[in-house]
Chain A
Amino acid sequence: MMVKRVRSKIARGSAELAILSLLDKQPLYGFEIAKRIEEDSGGALKFNLASLYPMLYELEKRAWIKGRWEANRAGRDRRYYCLTPAGKKKLVPLRREWHSFFRALDLLAGVTRA
């Protein structure tokens, strides 16, 4: 049970970091976010609709991202998300936390040397 909770927290935290980091570069809509995460992580990270949108709405509720409807290149209306100043501010400690987390794992398990 405990392991499951920790695993779920790690998955959630990594998903938050992935989304915020992507949106830090440019505004994207949901489908593009899922596609870019899958492509940029070489298929290691995957989001489907059911996992992506609750996460996006959660981040929007915390005011870290903001969505607005705009036409995409094909002229269809899509809800583009961009990072808010609060989200940019949050991204800095989030990156630091994950950096220390991986460094600690590396010290313990030699992850990067494996």
Chain B
Amino acid sequence: MVEEKLIGLGLPPTQHQETVREVAAHMEDRFEQGLARGLDDSGACELALKEVDDWRQLSRRIRRSKQQEGQVNYRTRALWLPGLASLTATMGALTVITMINLEPRIYMYGSLAFAQMYERLLMVLPAAGALGAYLSRRANGDLKVRLAAASFPAFVILSLFCPAIIVAGVLEHHLTWGVLPVAFALMVFNWILIPCACLLLGALPFLRNSQIREQGLAQ
């Protein structure tokens, strides 16, 4: 019950679990105190529930008191900043590659160009993904958050390319409606799926918690 009530704590997973455990223990003690005073189960339960009038307000107050003053919150530390670092590394690499004029390689399937990609960029992407996942792990990001931070550049490119392909392709008459789905699929494959796989490849070593950190928590 406490877990459900404190769902909006917005704390890192370990801190969240610890807080839920502590609050639940307090309510358990109050419940047992009620039983010891001669109340029946429902009376003792009511006594325990009276401890908190407004769970949402409690969540807010706990979040405020746990967050470090002047520091950014968990989501910013574990997702947005690592994601931004990964994106900066990706865009930096892409800029350098285009500046030194390396042409993309085009792969053909019959008469259809099915993949147009900067191989050198793909070689750099695992490092960008690793950077995102590493920074997210340092900020106690859980598995999903680390994966999201590592693959962040792919999502940004997707959000930029979707409107861009519609504008460039249809509104400026470079593509017809018939070709658009094929162009979109190729773009997603070349610029989203393959780069995303490369980014996640680099993130792999950082998906497990570091042994030093686990030892620290155990102590």
Contacts and interface: CB of A to CB of B under 8 A. Distances in A.
Contact of A61 (B23, B25, B58, B69): B69
A49 B61 contact: no
A50 B53 contact: yes
Interface of B: 18-19, 21-23, 25-30, 33, 50-54, 57-58, 61-62, 64-66, 68-69
B209 to A, nearest CB: 19
A79 B21 CA distance: 9
B23 A53 contact: yes
B51 A61 contact: no
B69 A49 contact: no
Question: Contact size class for A?
Answer: 10 to 19
Nearest to A35: B33
A43 interface: no
A52 B61 CA distance: 11
24 contacts: A29-B25, A30-B22, A30-B25, A30-B26, A31-B25, A31-B29, A34-B26, A35-B33, A48-B50, A48-B51, A48-B52, A49-B26, A49-B27, A49-B30, A50-B52, A50-B53, A50-B57, A50-B58, A53-B58, A54-B58, A54-B65, A57-B66, A61-B68, A79-B22
Contact of A50 (B30, B54, B64, B68): B54
Interface of A: 29-31, 34-35, 48-50, 52-55, 57-58, 61, 76-79
A50 B61 CA distance: 9
A79 to B, nearest CB: 5
Contacts of A29: 25
